[in-house]
């Protein structure tokens, strides 16, 4: 039900580096994390880029929306100075660049499809197609592949259409009533939820139904141990300096 690593660095480097950047990936690796979670949306030219917010201003200096700029333009923007001067000039990376780094360093990926409003289907299609292309050899060899995930049902459906061989997880804040029927219709292999909204009974239901169970974002060892005791298979964390990586 969950052939993937147990602990993932949230957005690459948790709270120790600017999120969703190559610097974050380097940071996570420095702390021994060879499994990461990151977010992907589309630039104006349809190129997948790794960033969380659809609007500039929080982590990327500038104004407007990610969908207003090409991937090349976003790469020249500053996505690191907000975190610290030592990260000034760290640009918005392309999905291709992040995958290349992760593959070179043997880092497993939970790829969250994070569409801007109105771009759910094209983002799901583009991310799934790009992932299938980047991992063509691994697919042919039957090796462990990245896991695609999303809050967007439309994006998950599009990803399934584009690359049915890639496993998917359904992201929710709280596991909703009727979740099992939706999960079956989506063909997902796992449920991803906010750990604060999970109960032992819900965890039991998900596991007994045959799904993997993943939680975000767990930042203490005590809570991680409690969730694992409930049957949770994996989680991401911002505190890669506190919670050691576990395969």
Which residue numbers are catalytic?
A: 10, 52
Query: Distance (Å, rounded) from C-alpha 55 to C-alpha 66?
Result: 6
- Buried b / exposed e along 179-209 (16+ C-beta atoms within 10 A): beebbeebebbbbbbebeebeeebbebbbee
The region that residue 43 occupies, defined by phi over 0 for left and psi between -120 and 50 for alpha, beta otherwise, is: beta
Q: Is the dihedral of CA 132, 138, 142, 148 positive or negative?
A: negative
Count CA within 13 A, CB hemisphere, residue 24.
32
> Which candidate, 104, 108, 117, 102, places its Cα nearest to that of 41?
117
């Amino acid at each position: 039900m969950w052939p993937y690593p147990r602990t993932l660095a949230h957005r690459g480097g948790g709270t120790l580096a600017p999120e969703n950047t190559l610097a974050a990936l380097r940071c996570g690796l420095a702390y021994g994390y060879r499994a990461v979670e990151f977010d992907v949306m589309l630039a104006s030219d349809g190129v997948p880029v790794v960033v969380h917010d659809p609007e500039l201003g929080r982590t990327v200096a500038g104004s407007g929306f990610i969908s207003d700029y090409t991937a090349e333009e976003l790469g020249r923007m500053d996505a690191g100075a907000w975190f610290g001067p030592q990260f000034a000039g760290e640009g918005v990376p392309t999905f291709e660049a992040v995958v290349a780094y992760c593959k070179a360093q043997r880092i497993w990926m939970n790829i969250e499809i994070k569409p801007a409003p109105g771009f759910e289907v094209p983002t799901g299609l583009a991310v799934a197609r790009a992932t299938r292309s980047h991992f063509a050899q691994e697919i042919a060899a039957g090796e462990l592949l990245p896991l695609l995930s999303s809050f967007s049902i439309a994006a998950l459906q599009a990803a399934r259409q584009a690359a049915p061989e890639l496993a998917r997880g359904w992201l929710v804040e709280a596991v909703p009533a009727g979740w099992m029927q939706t999960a079956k219709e989506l063909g997902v292999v796992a449920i991803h939820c906010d750990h604060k909204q999970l109960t032992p009974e819900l965890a039991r239901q998900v596991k007994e139904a045959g799904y993997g169970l993943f939680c975000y974002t767990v930042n203490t060892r005590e809570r991680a141990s409690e969730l694992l005791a409930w049957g949770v298979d994996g989680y991401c964390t911002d505190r890669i300096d506190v919670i050691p990586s576990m395969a």
